[in-house]
Amino acid sequence: MSTSNKTETTIDANSSNDKKETTVENNARNEVELTNNKELKFRELNDWLKKWGYETKDTTKENKMEGIEFQAQITPQIPYSSGLSTPLYLEFQQGLDDGFIIRTTFELDKQMENQIKSNDLDVAFGDLEHLIYPLEISMIKSFPFISLYKVVIIDDLRKQFFLDCIASLIHSMSLTIGKMNEKSLEIIQVAQNNTAK
């Protein structure tokens, strides 16, 4: 190999290494910028909620769930009809670069859990889906929990739409509590009628 070929090979290798380093640096810079943008949006959304009268608490540091970058606990303004005040969560997650999740979880109490059979739960879940899906809220059933959530895209996010999402999630939780209480009462009444016979 001639001296000029060795020099060209060395220059090509150095150029390739420089490109790799530049790409790594750009990727790192983009990650930092993305995290900063998420944090700014997270703070802005918390400010909106506070202005609308919601109590919010930044629980990012206390959060133990993997993949959550920023989390706020939101207390509904008025307790649900059952007296519960189950919190909502606003979460920015790793891998979800252009949006965030608002969610809440309903847990069947032990008495309700013991009364409701699995086939009754399937009917209750079906009824519940018909009630909450028109509110554009998604549901994950993992007995004894019912998780309600909505993915919200950040692009062009308006305050009214965000507030509507929070209200829909709260209404979905109210419907969930009401439907599960209704199913529990039906089972109690059937049991009482059967013992009275």
pLDDT digits (tens, 9 = 90+) for 137-175: 999 988 778 899 999 999 889 999 999 999 999 999 988
Is the model's pLDDT at 28 over the cut of 70? Answer: no
Answer whether CATH 3.30.1460.10 is correct for domain 3-196.
yes
Strand partners, 75: 55
Contact 135, 149 (CB under 8 A): no
pTM: 0.77
- Phi-psi category of residue 83: left, alpha or beta, with phi > 0 → left and psi -120 to 50 → alpha: left
Q: Where are the domains of the chain?
A: 3-196
Is the model's pLDDT at 23 over the cut of 80? Answer: no
